[in-house]
Structure formats: C-alpha cells, structure tokens
Amino acid sequence: MDTAPTAPAGSDLDRVRVARAGLCRLVEPTDAAAMLLLAVLGPVAALEVAAGHRPIGPAEHAAFVRAAADAGLRPHQVQIGRCRERWAARARSLDPGADLGTAARHGGWFAVPEDPDWPGALADLGLSAPVGLWGRGDRRLLPFPAGRAIAVVGSRDCSTYGRQVALDLAGSLAGRGWTVVSGGAYGIDQAAHAAALAAGTGFPPTVSVMAGGIDRLYPRGNDALLRDVEARGLLLSEVAPGCTPSRYRFLQRNRIIAALTAGTVVVEARWRSGAQSTAHRADALSRPVGAVPGSVHAGTSAGCHRLVREGAAVLVTDADEVLELVAPLGAALTPERTCPAADVDGLSHPDRRLLDALPLTAGSRPDRLAAVAGLSPREVLGGLHRLEERRLAERAGEGWRRRR
C-alpha cells in the first residue's frame, strides 16, 4: 500500500489541510486505526468517517479491512464502531477552522504531507507519520534536510556536567552547519537549543519539536529561548493548538525528533527516562544513537551507560565522534586524536630496552648497556646510533646517557 499522498492543487489542498487539522484534533498521535483510515480513504473522507459525519461505505470498509490485515493490526484495533466511540468524544467540539485561526494568530502555520515542503524524512515513520505539523518560524526553513540534522536530547534534571557537554556538543555541531533538533524542555534540551542559536550557521540552526500545541510555549521558563528558536529556527508540533503536553504525547513526540534527524545523541539520561525511548525509536528507524558517558556515581548518566551496555547506543565524547556516527560510511571519520607523540613511537623492542637502560646523568659504556638491556654489542651500537639520531641518546665521557 502506497501511503504517500499525491499533491492536490488550490482549493483541494485547502480542503486537505482543513481535514488533516481536524484529524489532528480528533485522534491521538499514532492511533493505528485512524492512520489506516487516513491512508486508505484520504484526509477528507477519513475525517468525515472518523468524526461520525457519515458512515463508512462498504467498498471503503473492505479496503480498510484489507489494509489493516496487510499492516498486521489485530481485529479489535480496527472495529470502526469501537474506534468511533473513542473519536466521538472530541468530534462534538471539532472546529479545524478555529484551530488554523489560532495557529495563524500566533504567527504559525499547518503543514501537511501534500505540501511540497513537507519533510521527506517523516515518510520513514510509515503509518506512524504525523497527520500534519503545526509550526512557528520561517516556513521556508521547514524542508531542512534530516541528513544535516542531529538530535541532542537528555534529562530535564540534568547536572552541571551534562549541561556543559550539551552546550559544547550542540555549539560545535551547529557551528559546522548542522541543525540541532531537540524537545524544548528544561535541562539538556534547553542547553542544546541555546548553544545552537549562539553558534549556529545552519539553516535552521535549531528546531524544537514540542509535545503540546504551538500556541503555548512550554515550559514557561523557556519562553524567551523558544521565542529565539522561533525567530531563527522552527517550533514544530503534531498536536493541535491548545493541546497540553501530556506524558503520552512527550513519548510519541520523540519519534518525530528521531525521524527528522540523521542520528540522536543522548547527553544525559536516568536509568529509566524518555531519552531511553527516544534512543529506541531512533534505533527502530535505523537512525544511529550516541550516548555520552559520565560518572558512574551520577544517576543522570545511568541511562546513557545502560544504552551503551545494551548495544542501543555508541559511546561518544565529542562532536567529531557524533559526526562519525551519523555520517555516511567513511565520510566523516574522526580525525586521529592529536596527542603528544611518545618518544618511543616507532622504536623496535630492542631499541626500547636500550633506551630504558640508558642512565640519566653519568654515561654508561656499551658493554654495560648490553648486559642491562639484554642485547648483543651489535644491537647496542646500532641502537645507540638510532637513538642519537632521534635525539634520545647522547655521548657522556666514554659512555652514553639519555638525552633530555
């Protein structure tokens, strides 16, 4: 079954947008029966049926049942009568025009898969793709490439350490032109957005995918930050204006963060946390996941360590390692770590033993060096020559010593 909608034009697109806005309000994210109805009937007919404005037609129902079987849904999940009981609760107050108006009053918009600027990466979610995306910010930024975006996420109750790592990582990634996607929450999310805005050269530098409606900036304390994100990046949400960011929506929201990015970095996470869910959703979408290590005494890092131990995430310590993780094979290998070369680099084992045997002050004669290092006279003479060339050994009287 091809779930990709074809692009309608003009007033058709308007009708589609209104219908999808209505569905956004009517059903919770990833409601399997609703998503299937939408895929089989299209947005306008799906809303009519879901809202109870008309019964489902026999041919429509047959196609729906076939599609449900194909999608592996269980019969009780797709009994239209039961589903409509669930959808009916919100159908009474359904007013998509009002929701679109609310969004517009906040300078927002509502993008749908039928729009040419719909982010293509969301198609990877299949039947779990969002019905539409409510957004604030310059809409021209919406088709930002997932291949140049990274999710930086983590606990709200982060440590000073985690906050610093998030600032460093997000700043470094954004400074190299990557879009930093996060969830707009306190803690790690906040640090990631802020650092990306400060360093960002990407278009957009940062995107916040929120769990509640875009008409209210949540949490309150991040109001100024989220306004900055809106000014230079994007605020996105799959739920209608006015919807509260419930725990369930937080978890569902994470799949969108995963789908909109090339990979996810969990900076800090407790043993059980939403970040675990984000990581597993990214993994399910074949998006790589990185986790930042920390103190074994810090509960704020326990979830990261768990992800690494369970093989759900790769340990990452800096932006280079994050980019190596998300880049196509070989495209961004971590540069060889620069560290002071040891003076023994490239020396053979016998020459190392000779170097070990050299005294630091008074010189030692070659026969004595041979005994100390367990080498033949020939090996000692050749070795002294090589060590002298590397400025590791020097003559001292009749003997040799280590050069400092």
Q: Which amino acid is at 235?
A: L
Site for its own copies in 32-51 (CB under 8 A): none
14 near 115, Cβ under 8 Å?
no
- Residue 320 binds its own copies (CB under 8 A): no
Closest CA to 105 of 3, 262, 214, 231: 214
- Residue 217 binds its own copies (CB under 8 A): no
Stretch that binds its own copies, among 134-142, 202-210, 227-235, 305-313 (CB under 8 A): 305-313
- Residue 163 binds its own copies (CB under 8 A): no
Euclidean distance between CA atoms 291 and 295, whole angstroms: 13
- Residue 92 binds its own copies (CB under 8 A): yes
Based on CB atoms, which residue is closest to its own copies, 142 or 150?
Answer: 150
Q: Give min distance, CB of 159 to its own copies, in A.
A: 10
- Residue 82 binds its own copies (CB under 8 A): yes
Q: Can you read off the two tokens belonging to residue 68?
A: 């449900």
Euclidean distance between CA atoms 219 and 344, whole angstroms: 56
Residue in 54, 72, 75, 93 binding its own copies, rule: CB under 8 A? 93
CA 374 to chain centre: 56
- Residue 229 binds its own copies (CB under 8 A): no
81, 113, 206, 222, 356 from 71: Cα distances, Å = 19, 20, 35, 40, 69
Site for its own copies in 165-194 (CB under 8 A): 165
- Residue 327 binds its own copies (CB under 8 A): no
- Residue 103 binds its own copies (CB under 8 A): no
Site for its own copies in 338-367 (CB under 8 A): 339, 342, 344, 349, 352-353, 355-357, 367
Q: Is the peptide bond before 219 cis (omega within 30 degrees of 0)?
A: yes
Residue in 1, 284, 333, 371 binding its own copies, rule: CB under 8 A? 371
Euclidean distance between CA atoms 307 and 154, whole angstroms: 13
Q: Can you read off the two tokens belonging to residue 156?
A: 């709200």
- Residue 79 binds its own copies (CB under 8 A): no
Q: Give min distance, CB of 312 to its own copies, in A.
A: 12
151 near 296, Cβ under 8 Å?
no
Q: Give min distance, CB of 140 to its own copies, in A.
A: 33
Question: For the chain, what is the radius of gyration of the CA atoms?
Answer: 30
Q: Which amino acid is at 397?
A: G
Q: Give min distance, CB of 238 to its own copies, in A.
A: 13
- Residue 28 binds its own copies (CB under 8 A): yes
Q: Is the peptide bond before 145 cis (omega within 30 degrees of 0)?
A: no
Stretch that binds its own copies, among 47-55, 157-165, 182-190, 391-399 (CB under 8 A): 157-165
Euclidean distance between CA atoms 196 and 167, whole angstroms: 8
Q: Give min distance, CB of 12 to its own copies, in A.
A: 28
- Residue 74 binds its own copies (CB under 8 A): no
Stretch that binds its own copies, among 15-23, 99-107, 229-237, 242-250 (CB under 8 A): 242-250
Instruction: State the number of CA atoms in the 13 A half-sphere of 218 facing the CB.
Output: 17
Q: Give min distance, CB of 112 to its own copies, in A.
A: 20
137, 156, 177, 313, 326 from 331: Cα distances, Å = 32, 33, 16, 20, 9
Euclidean distance between CA atoms 52 and 46, whole angstroms: 10
Residue in 15, 61, 86, 216 binding its own copies, rule: CB under 8 A? 86
Q: Give min distance, CB of 356 to its own copies, in A.
A: 4
Q: Can you read off the two tokens belonging to residue 196?
A: 């990306």
Q: Which residues bind its own copies (CB under 8 A)?
A: 26-28, 31, 82, 85-90, 92-93, 161, 164-165, 246-249, 271-272, 292-297, 301-302, 305, 308-309, 314-318, 321, 337, 339, 342, 344, 349, 352-353, 355-357, 367, 370-371, 373-379
